[in-house]
Each structure stands twice: as C-alpha cells, then as structure tokens.
C-alpha cells in the first residue's frame, strides 16, 4: 500500500522570489488544503515528524551517538570551534564547525590548551570529528539557555550569550577559551593561508539521549546531520538518493530545506511531483515557518480555485 509523502521545506520567508515568481506552484497551493499553522522553527518542524521523549532535541547527545557510540553514558554539550570578527560596536560569529574546514590535526592542536581549562571545570572536551567538539557534563549540572548554532551565525554575539546566574560561569569559560585560542600559533598559520582563525567556541545543544525516538516514516531522504541522528535512534533508514526523482519514488519523508528559490520548487519539484500524486494518499508540504499544505490527486479537479497570491500568514 502506498504511503503518504512528506516534504520538509525551508521557511517561506527565506525563499527568494515569492509566489509571483512561481505561478504554477502558486496555482497548486491554491488547490491544496491549507492546514492549521504549526509552531515555527527547525526543531519544531522535526518534532512534528519524530516523537521524541522527553519532548526536546538534545542535539549534542544525538550527534555524539553518530560520531562515537558512547552518548548513552552521560549528558553532552556541543562546544564547537568558531570564528568571531569584532566590528566597531560588537563582535559577530561568522563561522562555526564545518564552515572552518578544520583538519583532524588542527582540531587536536587547538584542543590541547583547552583540555586543562575544561578538565579543571569537570567537563572534559573531545573532538571525535574535527568540526564537532563536545563537553561531557556532570550529571547534576544545570544549563542556561543556549542559542542553536544556525540561529547565531552572523548575529551580534552579545545578544546570544547565556544569561543569569547559570550563564555567568559559561561566559567566563568562553572568555578564557577565547584568550587561549587567540594566542595559539596555529591561528597565525591559518590566517596567513587565507583561512579564518579559530578564535572562539559556541556552546549549544545540551542534554542526554532521549528515552525513545519514534516516527511513522520508514525511509528518509536527507544528508542533514540532526535528521540522520534522529533516524538512527528511531532505527529508520536515512540516506541520500541519487536524484529527487528516485526519492519521490521510494521515500516517504524528503528533506528539501536546502532549497532557496520558489522558482526552483516550480521548475524541479512540481513536474515530478504531480504525476506521483495518484499513487500517494496525500503529500504534505511542511514549511519551517509552520505553514503547511496537504495535496491530493483529487485536488486536480479544483480548477476553479485561484492561485495562491498571498502567503497564508494566519493559516
């Protein structure tokens, strides 16, 4: 029996062009059923399709389970290498993790002066992957609110530092780490080679592995690290198909959040999706800002409906 298909899409506000640039796509959205608007955000979008208990996404523990098979033995916090650039009034975080293109040898060299700092604080630091660093946390540690890495990129760093009494310790550790990294001779070598200096860290994604992760999906198409980590915990296949056409034929959740242009959805997705509506009970278009549409083969008869002209902000 054919299964429903879910397409994960980026927030519409982040797509270039708008509906006016994709009239055929807008026409089919006009025929589809607009569902009640869901909670916006990357984590909320994933939690609509994965039942995680407790109801949260402890990114550090989930990705640690992909990198090293020891994530079930404690609590974890991502402590990723970062590049911060000061300007006249503040400092901005311009690269984190993969954006720095670190080698394994570089990561280990940069970790050397940081290990005593975090070891003395009772939080050993490790880098099983050159661009993903972790702190092992004490069992009873209370964590302040940390901002996810993709939300702080390009932003004023001071607006995203942990606050309150619990945050004070982390601000102090960050300052100490920045001094050690600034003094590291490897950064002079990187700058001379035209690479960004690794002059800061970013704490985020703390927590323990979930007690359980379940999903109704049976086959997921994605290269996203967090989605792969969730699939691993749910014991569901997650892979990168050779083409979008292959994904539409045999997967029931497809990650299209890389798309940046509405016209790309009309040009590349729609011609392959429409012929595949008939065998599918339904196709759910789930945008990261919470807007959702359900499309069925029978909706082709709604030819009197006008194309969608305005994004249904209040849907």
| 3-state DSSP helix/strand/coil % of the chain, to nearest 5 | 40, 25, 35
Q: How confident is the model at residue 314, as a pLDDT? A: 47
Are both 24 and 67 inside the same structural domain? no
Domain assignment of residue 142, yes or no: yes
Q: Band the pLDDT of 238: cuts 50, 70, 90.
A: very high
**With 90 as the cut, is the pLDDT of residue 196 above it?**
yes
Residue 301: CB atoms within 10 A of its CB come to: 9
Same domain, 201 and 72: yes
Are the CB atoms for 148 and 46 separated by under 8 Å? no
Name which residue leads in pLDDT, 152 or 308. Answer: 152
**Residue 306 lies inside a defined structural domain of this protein:** no
pLDDT of 308 reads 79
Model confidence at 253, pLDDT cuts 50, 70, 90, reads: very high
> Does 298 score more than 60 pLDDT?
yes
Cα torsion through 256, 15, 148, 164, rounded to 10: -150
For residue 123, what are the domain limits? 59-207
Please tell me the predicted confidence (pLDDT) of residue 315: 45
Q: Which residues contact 200 (CB under 8 A, 6 or more apart)?
A: 81, 82, 83, 84, 93, 174, 177, 178, 181
Per-residue pLDDT, averaged over 206-226, amounts to: 96
Query: Where does a domain end: 177, 207, 237?
Result: 207
Residues 6+ apart with CB under 8 A from 180: 113, 114, 117
Q: Does the residue 312 lie in any domain?
A: no
Residues 44 and 118 in one domain: no
CA separation for the pair 206, 202 (Å, rounded): 12
Q: Token pair 């980026």 is at which residue?
A: 10
In a domain, 255, yes or no: yes
What sign does the dihedral 65-69-73-75 (CA atoms) show? negative
Q: Quote the CA–CA distance of 294 and 305 in Å, as a whole number.
A: 15
209-226 core/surface letters (b: 16 or more CB in 10 A; e: else):
bbeebebebebbbbebbb
Q: Give yes or no: residues 164 and 222 share one domain.
A: no
Q: What are the residues whose beta carbons fall under 8 Å from the beta carbon of 269, sequence distance 6 or more?
A: 7, 244, 256
- Whether a cis peptide bond, with omega within 30° of 0, leads into 54 is yes
Q: How many domains does the chain have?
A: 2
Measured between alpha carbons, how far is 48 from 45 in angstroms, rounded to an integer? 5
Tokens 């011609």, located at residue: 271
Q: Does 150 reside within a domain?
A: yes
Pick the last residue of a domain from 173, 207, 241. 207
**Selected residue with higher pLDDT from 224 and 150:** 224
- Please, what is the Cα angle at 219 between 218 and 222, to 5 degrees? 140
Q: Is 309 part of a structural domain of the chain?
A: no
pLDDT at 312: 59
Q: Are residues 175 and 284 in the same domain?
A: no
Please check whether residue 310 lies inside any domain of the structure: no
Residue 201 and residue 69 in one domain: yes
Residues 176 and 70 in one domain: yes
Please give the helix or strand (H or E) that residue 170 lies within, else none. Answer: helix 164-182
Q: Are 119 and 78 contained in the same domain? A: yes
- Residue finishing a domain among 207, 224, 244: 207
> Is there a domain that residue 15 lies in?
yes
**173 & 269 share domain:** no
Same-domain pairing of 65 and 187: yes
29, two tokens: 């959205």
**Whether residue 295 sits in one domain with residue 270:** yes
Together in a domain, 34 and 93: no
Report, in angstroms and rounded to the nearest whole number, the Rg of the chain calculated over CA atoms: 22
pLDDT value at 313 more than 80: no
């Amino acid at each position: 029996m054919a299964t429903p298909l879910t397409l994960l899409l980026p927030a519409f506000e982040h797509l270039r062009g708008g509906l006016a640039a994709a009239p055929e796509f807008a026409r089919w959205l006009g025929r589809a059923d607009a569902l009640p608007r869901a909670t916006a955000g990357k984590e909320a979008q994933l939690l609509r399709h994965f039942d995680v208990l407790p109801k949260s996404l402890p990114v550090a523990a989930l990705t640690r389970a992909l990198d090293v098979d020891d994530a079930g033995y404690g609590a974890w916090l991502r402590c990723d290498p970062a590049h911060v650039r000061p300007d006249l009034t503040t400092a901005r975080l311009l690269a984190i993790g993969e954006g720095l293109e670190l080698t394994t040898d570089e990561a280990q060299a940069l970790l050397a002066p940081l290990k005593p700092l975090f070891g003395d604080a009772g939080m050993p630091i490790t880098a099983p992957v050159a661009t993903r660093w972790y702190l092992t946390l004490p069992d009873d540690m209370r964590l302040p609110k940390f901002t996810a890495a993709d939300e702080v990129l390009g932003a004023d760093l001071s607006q995203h530092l942990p606050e309150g009494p619990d945050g004070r310790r982390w601000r102090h550790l960050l300052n100490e780490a920045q001094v050690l990294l600034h003094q590291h001779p490897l950064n002079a070598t990187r700058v001379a080679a035209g690479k960004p200096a690794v002059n800061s860290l970013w704490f985020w994604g703390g927590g323990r592995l979930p007690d359980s992760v379940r999903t109704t999906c049976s086959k997921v198409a994605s290269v996203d690290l967090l989605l792969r980590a969730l699939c691993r915990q749910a014991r569901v296949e997650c892979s990168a198909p050779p083409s979008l056409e292959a994904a539409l034929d045999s997967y029931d959740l497809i990650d299209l959040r890389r798309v940046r242009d509405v016209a790309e959805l009309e040009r590349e997705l729609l011609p392959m999706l429409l012929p595949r509506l008939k065998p599918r009970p339904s196709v759910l278009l789930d945008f990261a800002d919470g807007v959702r549409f359900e499309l069925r083969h029978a909706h082709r008869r709604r030819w009197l409906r006008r194309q969608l002209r305005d994004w249904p902000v209040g849907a």
